């Protein structure tokens, strides 16, 4: 098996993982409200918002790692094809 199909498969898996994490984070943050609850009668809403913020904060490092992996694999793909062009022109 050549290197290109393996490289594209790895890149595709990383893109799918990044997209899934990004969509999940977006769906969580859609329900997040930027409000300050001053009255004790809104304790239920305050707790719900704290749960959402906790989930987003727990997910954020994974999104960051996936984005770095995606950037690195994209650079690897670009580098592979630039090297291929250089070899064919030489």
At 10-69, the pLDDT tens digits run 999 999 999 999 999 999 888 766 666 666 677 787 788 888 889 999 999 999 999 999
Element (H, E) at 16: helix 3-30
Q: What is the reported pLDDT for 37?
A: 62
Are 80 and 7 a contacting pair, CB within 8 Å?
yes
Q: What is the reported pLDDT for 25?
A: 92
Assign 1 a pLDDT band (cuts: 50, 70, 90): low
């Amino acid at each position: 098996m050549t290197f290109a199909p393996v490289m594209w498969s790895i890149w595709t898996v990383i893109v799918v993982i990044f997209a899934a994490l990004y969509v999940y984070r977006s769906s969580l943050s859609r329900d997040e409200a930027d409000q300050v609850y001053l009255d004790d009668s809104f304790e239920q809403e305050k707790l719900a918002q704290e749960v959402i913020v906790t989930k987003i904060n727990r997910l954020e490092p994974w999104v960051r790692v996936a984005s770095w992996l995606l950037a690195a694999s994209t650079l690897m793909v670009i580098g592979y094809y630039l090297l291929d062009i250089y070899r064919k022109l030489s």
